[in-house]
Chains A and B, each alone.
Chain A
Amino acid sequence: MQNVENIVNGQKLFQKPEYQEVLENKKEFEGHAGATNPEKVKEIADWTKSWEYREKNLAREAITINPSKACQPLGAVMAALGFENTMPYVHGSHGCVAYFRSYFTRHFKEPTPCVSDSMSESAAVFGGLANMKDGLRNANALYKPDMIAVSTTCMAEVIGDDLKAFTASAKEEAEGEMDDTLIPSAHTPSFVGSHITGYDNMIRAILEQTNPTKAEKVVDEERINIIPGFEPYLGSLKEIKNISKMFGDKVVMIGDHQEQWDTGAGEYKLYAGGTSLEDTKTAINAKATISLQKYSTVTTSKLIKNKWKQEYKTANPIGLSGTDEFVMMLSELTGKEVPEELKAQIARLVDAMQDSYPYMHGKSFAVWGDPDFLLGLVSFLVEMGSVPAHIVCNNAPRKGWKEDMEAVLEKSPSKDECQIWPSKDLWHLRSLLFTEPVDFMIGNVYGKELYRDTGIPLIRIGFPIFDRHHLHRYSMSGYEGALNLLTWITNGVLDQLDEETKGIAETDYFFDSVR
Chain B
Amino acid sequence: MGPETLESLQKSAIDEVLEAYPEKAKKKRAKHLGVDSPEGVKGACDKTKSNKQTVPGVMSQRGCAYAGSKGVVWGPIKDMIHISHGPIGCGQYSRGGRRNYYIGTTGVDTFVTMNFSTDFTEKDIVFGGDKKLKKALEEIDDLFPLNNGISVQSECPIGLIGDDIQAVSKTHKKESGKPTVAVSCEGFRGVSQSLGHHIANDMIRDEIMPDTSHKKDFESTEYDVAIIGDYNIGGDAWSSRILLEEMGLRVIAQWSGDATYKEMAIAPKAKLNLLHCYRSMNYISRHMEQEFGIPWMEYNFFGPSKTTESLRKIASFFDEKIQKKTEEVIAKYTKMTDEVIAKYKPRLEGKKVMLYVGGLRPRHVIGAYEDLGMEIIGTGYEFAHGDDYKRTKEDLERSTLIYDDVSEYELEKFVEKLRPDLVAAGVKEKYVFQKMGLPFRQMHSWDYSGPYHGYDAFAIFAKDMDLAMNSPVWDHNTAPWDEK
Contact = CB atoms under 8 A, between A and B. Distances in A.
Contact of B187 (A19, A155, A427): A155
Contact of B156 (A48, A93, A98, A265): A93
Contact of A30 (B92, B263, B336, B343): B263
A7 B462 CA distance: 10
Interface string B178-203: 00000000011111010000000000
Contacts of A495: none
Interface in B45-63: 53-63
B118 A96 contact: no
Nearest to B117: A64
A158 B157 contact: yes
A402 interface: no
26 contacts: A1-B455, A4-B339, A13-B460, A31-B260, A32-B148, A45-B105, A48-B143, A62-B135, A64-B119, A65-B114, A66-B115, A70-B92, A94-B54, A95-B63, A95-B67, A98-B61, A98-B67, A117-B57, A120-B190, A134-B24, A138-B57, A141-B21, A155-B188, A158-B125, A191-B125, A265-B437
Contact of B107 (A25, A99, A453): A453
B356 interface: no
B238 A93 contact: no
Interface string B103-128: 11111111001111111111011000
Interface in B467-484: 476-478
A154 B464 CA distance: 40
3 nearest A-B pairs in the assembled complex, by CB-CB distance: A95-B64, A31-B262, A71-B89
Contact of A41 (B59, B83, B105): B105
Given A65-B116, A70-B92, A120 B53 contact: yes
A233 B478 CA distance: 28
A124 interface: yes
A356 interface: no
A274 B187 CA distance: 32
Which of B104, B119, B251, B266 has the most A CB atoms < 10 Å from its CB? Answer: B119
Contact of A10 (B64, B155, B159, B451): B451
B120 A95 contact: no
A223 to B, nearest CB: 35
Contacts of A453: 107
Contacts of A264: 435
A105 B62 CA distance: 16
A31 to B, nearest CB: 3
B160 A155 contact: yes
A45 B234 CA distance: 26
A96 B241 contact: no
A102 B89 CA distance: 13
A29 B58 contact: no
Interface of A: 1-2, 4, 7-10, 13-14, 18-19, 22-23, 25-26, 29-35, 40-41, 44-45, 48, 53, 56-57, 60-67, 69-74, 89, 92-103, 105-106, 109-121, 123-124, 131-132, 134-143, 153-155, 158-159, 177, 189-192, 194, 263-268, 427, 430, 449, 452-453, 466
Contact of B148 (A31, A70, A141): A31
A102 B428 contact: yes
B: contact size bracket: 35 or more
Given A116-B60, A124-B159, 6 more contacts: A9-B234, A22-B238, A102-B97, A105-B431, A137-B57, A154-B120
Contacts of B476: 265
B292 interface: no
Nearest to A130: B56
A378 to B, nearest CB: 24
A96 B187 CA distance: 8
Contacts of B115: 64-67
B245 A22 contact: yes
Nearest to B451: A10
Contacts of A60: 139, 143
Contact of B427 (A8, A105, A263): A105
A25 to B, nearest CB: 7
Given A31-B148, A33-B146, A70-B89, A139 B436 contact: no
Given A32-B79, A48-B108, A139 B58 contact: yes
Interface in B128-162: 132-133, 135-136, 139-140, 142-143, 145-146, 148, 155-157, 159-161
Contacts of A155: 156-157, 160, 187-188
A498 B241 CA distance: 41
Given A33-B109, A53-B143, A67 B88 contact: yes
B280 interface: no
Which of A65, A70, A101 has the most B CB atoms < 10 Å from its CB? Answer: A65
A7 B451 CA distance: 12
B22 A138 contact: yes
Interface string B87-108: 1111011100100010111111
Contacts of B157: 154-155, 158, 191
B427 A102 contact: yes
Nearest to B333: A1
Given A29-B253, A44-B146, A95-B187, A192 B122 contact: yes
A102 B444 CA distance: 12
Given A23-B103, A32-B78, A62-B139, A268 B412 contact: yes
Which of B57, B62, B139 has the most A CB atoms < 10 Å from its CB? Answer: B57
B86 interface: yes
Given A2-B459, A29-B252, A110 B431 contact: yes
Nearest to B93: A99
Contacts, number: 358
Contact of B242 (A18, A65, A89): A18
B155 A154 contact: yes
Contacts of A98: 60-64, 67, 428
A29 B119 contact: no
Given A23-B238, A44-B109, A120-B191, A142 B263 contact: no
Nearest to B66: A95
B167 interface: no
Given A31-B79, A98-B62, A138 B336 contact: no
A120 B435 contact: no
Which of B83, B148, B235 has the most A CB atoms < 10 Å from its CB? Answer: B235
A131 B191 CA distance: 13
B20 interface: yes
Contacts of B159: 124
A52 to B, nearest CB: 11
B307 interface: no
Contacts of A110: 431
B88 A194 contact: yes
A41 B108 contact: yes
Nearest to A72: B89
A299 to B, nearest CB: 15
Nearest to A133: B56
Contacts of B60: 94, 97-98, 116, 118
A148 to B, nearest CB: 9
A266 B482 CA distance: 12
B57 A134 contact: yes
A109 B431 contact: yes
Contact of A106 (B97, B105, B122, B336): B97
Given A100-B93, A121-B189, A155-B160, A61 B430 contact: no
A265 B477 contact: yes
A191 B242 contact: no
Contacts of B428: 98, 101-102, 105, 111-112
B324 interface: no
B261 A74 contact: no
Contact of B121 (A106, A121, A134, A192): A192
B407 interface: yes
B88 A268 contact: no
B435 A143 contact: no
Contacts of A449: 106-107, 113-114
A1 B336 contact: yes
